Amino acid sequence: MSRIKEILNYKLSFSDDISISVKGLLFVILVIILTWIVLKIIKRILTRNLPKEDKAKFNTVFSYGKWVVYLVFLLITLNAIGFNVTGIFAASAALLIGVGLALQTLFQDIISGIFILLDQSVHVGDIIELDGKVGRVEEIKLRTTRAVTIDNKVLVIPNHLYLTNSLFNWTQNGTLTRENVEVGVAYGSDVQLVKKLLLEAANNHPEVIKVPEPLVVFTEFGESSLNFKLIFTLNDSFKATFPKSDIRFEIDRLFRENNITIPFPQRDIHIKNK
């Protein structure tokens, strides 16, 4: 037993100021093994529900991040067993602060990319609206998300914008979306006829879903017109601009055939002679 204690207490000297005992070295190895086990469990928990492609991206980031964790735990462990790591801590802190300030946005993008992969808030094929821009997601990377707009322009979105802006996912609840077209008619028009023509314009379009049925809302008595909103459902909201344009053309045609006037703002000017 004394021989074992002697071996465990034996110190390995690297210089006059740096030395470590055998039991201290074994403790460091034990901590590294335990850290490896814990990291493996954490990775398995975080990636169990991820798709294969997203899991590969997460594993890439995790493989780099785990070395940082190893380094931190190694320094803490060495300090706990009496190894002088003050100089290493000071140098590491200064280095990390400098790197962190220089690469702050990059780190934000990567962290946001990890959050996107984990919570699955955005998927490839989703139609998203961010900061007034709408696009269909084509690829999700760790630093950026690539989306294509309706006019075939590519949006490269830094992932940190998901944390600082409101993100609208048009297809989170499915591909069906409710769209609307607003129109005003002249005072004195037959409002029931207007409603009938608006529903006819929507039902005649092949891309408008029949269930739920289109409906018309009489929104307000405007300053120069009676205002209506035609509400209908489309199966592909990404291309909603074109069906809505077609429906407006059809509304104009039906109104002309039925003598329904779409007014424009008018003002009566009275000139007083002095």
Same domain for 37 and 8: yes
Q: Are residues 198 and 239 in the same domain?
A: yes
Peptide bond into 212 cis (omega under 30): yes
Model pTM score: 0.53
Residue 144 sits in a domain whose CATH number is: 2.30.30.60
Give the tens place of pLDDT for each residue, 117-151: 767 778 788 888 887 788 888 888 777 888 888 77
Q: How far apart are CA 33 and CA 20, in angstroms?
A: 19
| Arithmetic mean of pLDDT, 244-258 | 93
Structural domain ending residue among the three candidates 150, 169, 188: 169
pLDDT single digits (tens) 176-214: 778 899 999 999 999 999 999 999 999 999 989 888 899
| The residue to which tokens 């489309």 are assigned | 234
Q: What is the CATH number of the domain that holds 213?
A: 3.30.70.100
Q: Which residue has the higher pLDDT, 245 or 83?
A: 245
Q: Both 149 and 191 in a single domain?
A: no
Same structural domain, 223 and 199: yes
Look at residue 50 and tell me if it is in a domain.
yes
Residues paired with residue 220 on neighbouring β-strands, in sequence order: 227
Distances (CA, A) of 78 to 17, 102, 246: 14, 29, 72
Report the domain count for the chain: 3
* Nearest CA among 198, 214, 135 for reference residue 167: 135
Token pair of 71, please?
A: 């380094």
* Residue with the two structure tokens 């294509």: 148
- pLDDT computed for residue 215 by the predictor: 93
pLDDT category at 224 given cuts 50, 70, 90 is confident
Structural contact between residues 229 and 217, judged by C-beta atoms closer than 8 angstroms: yes
DSSP E strands, 24-110: none
Structural domain span for residue 157: 120-169
Are 119 and 131 within 8 A, CB to CB?
no
Q: Do residues 83 and 24 share a domain?
A: yes
